[in-house]
Structure 1
Amino acid sequence: MTVSKNTDYQNTLFIGGSGLLNGACDVKNTKLKNLMILTDGVTIENAIFDTPGYGIYCKGSCTLKNIYYKKLCYHAVGLAYTDTSKSYTYKVIGGAGQGSADKYFTQSGKGTTIIQNFCGEGKYGKLWCSCGNCGFQAKRSVEVYNTVMKGPGQSVVSVNLNYGDTVLFSGLTLYGQSSSSTATKYACQNVNALTYVAQLYAASSFKPTESGTGSCTYKASSIKIAN
């Protein structure tokens, strides 16, 4: 479904059916479809998504307010673009997730993602990722404010070192760090991005107790280890 105007869904539950999934709700299923496509500039709020295929797809700037994600098949939201010359702003305000088979939020458009007051608990790959093997590459930035995560997780964010990405953490709290079964391994990973699909490897990774460098430049004091 395509959404072209601001919409309050009043806590409607959206469940991906067989026509959307085309098989299993699984990250390896290449026949998944997006449950919802947002046109540039749209705000949606107060909705719950369960088995949403490829999830939400923003075709430009979008605001997601109090959106909750139950079982995800791939990622929750693709933050994309319609014009490669334009910078976009993507906002995630509130909301929560119960884990993600891949990333919660993947940005392929140029511009900035702002994640504020989000809560994630359960196995996840990354909270946010700057697309590392998209055909279009440009500088991207992420700002994470007052957000709580509990894993197990690979990394809170990953950024493209060779395109000058930036990251800002303020009030990020990580729970479950005392156990490998619930810990987030890294706060940030630098990646050298490609413009074609291939296996990517982190150029450098920073644990939650470490300050980062490169595109991962931030102070360790901006991350709170709760337990």
Structure 2
Amino acid sequence: MFKNLRKRWRTGVVAIAALGLGLGAVVHTQGASAATWPTATGTVKLTATKAVSGTLDGGLKRYVGSGALGTGDQDEGQDPMFTLADGATLKNVIIGSPAADGVHCLGSCTISNVWWENVGEDAATFKGGSSAKYTVSGGGAKGADDKVLQHNGGGTLTVSGFAVADFGKLYRSCGNCSTQYKRAVVLKNIEVTAPGSSLVGINSNFGDTATFSGVTIVGDSGKKISICVTYKGNNTGAEPTKVAAYKGSTGGDGTNCKFTAANVTYK
């Protein structure tokens, strides 16, 4: 309930600010990142999921959901704004509010310079097989009550040059999917702006790994944000069990959570 209230409040702030600044301006919500967010070159309304094969260059237009895609809350099972076929690329896109379930990668994919102004259910979900390779380069996301990047399939996700602010988890390896995999995530040159709960959640019992370098955290003087949290995942749909949490000041375990204190800078 409180998450949805928070989401509605934030969506209202975005809408009011947009009226005052004009549709071409990028609105910063509470806890906005220090990254330079782009200005939208126009607005495109999607009433149904847009399928992408090959490359879609959005020219930094703002895409917003309407009709069946018109929700920006945390309800499960929403349709995505975009589905990317195996090998597809989505680039130079601003996803506004409401954002539904963001982007779904059905196989290997590239997401480049994509910005989520107010994350809906999730920003992006990765669904490929065990050999899939996903790349998220540049861009950023803010206003995520829960997850930003959701990894339901297998393979390796590499995230670089990405900014995240006002979020729950930046990345989560699915803790209770009916089909489970050994998953890997690599985060390089990530800018994190508080508030937030954790950067990564992985399932140590399935052999997941998370590797970090060049993480900068802004506005977290109490060092409350966990860098890496391990869970005991399952394939029954039950809530996964938390095993351990590693902070930036201590480093990881070197096995599943691969980072040292030197990989994390606080500002």
TM over 0.5: yes
The answer for the alignment partner of 1:13 in structure 2 is 62
1:39 to 66, 82, 85: 85
Map 1:92-131; keep pairs closer than 5 Å: 92-122=136-166, 124-131=167-174
Residue 18 of structure 1, CA deviation = 2.6
- Alpha-carbon offset, residue 95 of structure 1: 0.1
Structure that is richer in strand per residue: 1
Q: Identity rate of aligned residues, in percent?
A: 31
**Residue equivalent to 1:162:** 205
Specify every segment of 5 or more residues in structure 1 that has no aligned partner in the other structure, as ranges: none
Q: Which whole-Å deviations, capped at 9, do the CAs of 1:161-215 have from their partners, x for residues lacking one? A: 0111111111011111115xxx652000011111122222310001221111141
Change (3 A) 1:165 1:12: same
TM-score relative to the length of structure 2: 0.77
| 1:219 maps to which of 257, 260, 266 | 260
Q: Does the 8 Å CA contact 1:55/1:74 hold for their aligned counterparts?
A: yes
Structure 2: distance between partners of 1:184 and 1:46: 32
Aligned-partner Cα distance in 1 for 2:208–2:185: 8
Match in the other structure for 1:26: 73
Look up the SS of the partner of 2:239 in the other structure: coil
2:197, 2:252 → 1: CA distance?
Answer: 16
User: For residues 45 and 209 of structure 1, what CA distance do their matches in structure 2 show?
Assistant: 35
Larger radius of gyration: 2
Checking the alignment, whether the CA contact within 8 Å between 2:188 and 2:214 is kept in structure 1 is yes
Give 3-state SS (helix, strand or coil) of 2:168's partner: strand
C-alpha distance in structure 2 between counterparts of 1:153 and 1:142, whole Å: 19
Partner of 2:185: 142
Q: Equivalent residue for 1:53? A: 100
- C-alpha displacement of 1:31: 5.5
Preserved CA contact (<8 Å) 1:15 1:49: yes
Asked if the contact 1:80/1:107 (under 8 Å) is kept, the reply is yes
How big is the alpha-carbon RMSD for the aligned residues of Structure 1 and Structure 2?
1.5
Counterpart code for 2:176: N
Match of 2:43? Answer: none
1:87 matched to 2:131? The reply is yes
Are the structure 2 counterparts of residues 11 and 202 from structure 1 closer, same or farther at C-alpha, using a change threshold of 3 Å? Answer: same
Q: Which runs of 4+ in 1 moved over 4 A?
A: none
Deviation at 1:71, TM superposition (A): 1.3
Task: Report how many residues are paired.
Answer: 216
Say which SS state the counterpart of residue 147 (structure 1) adopts. Answer: strand
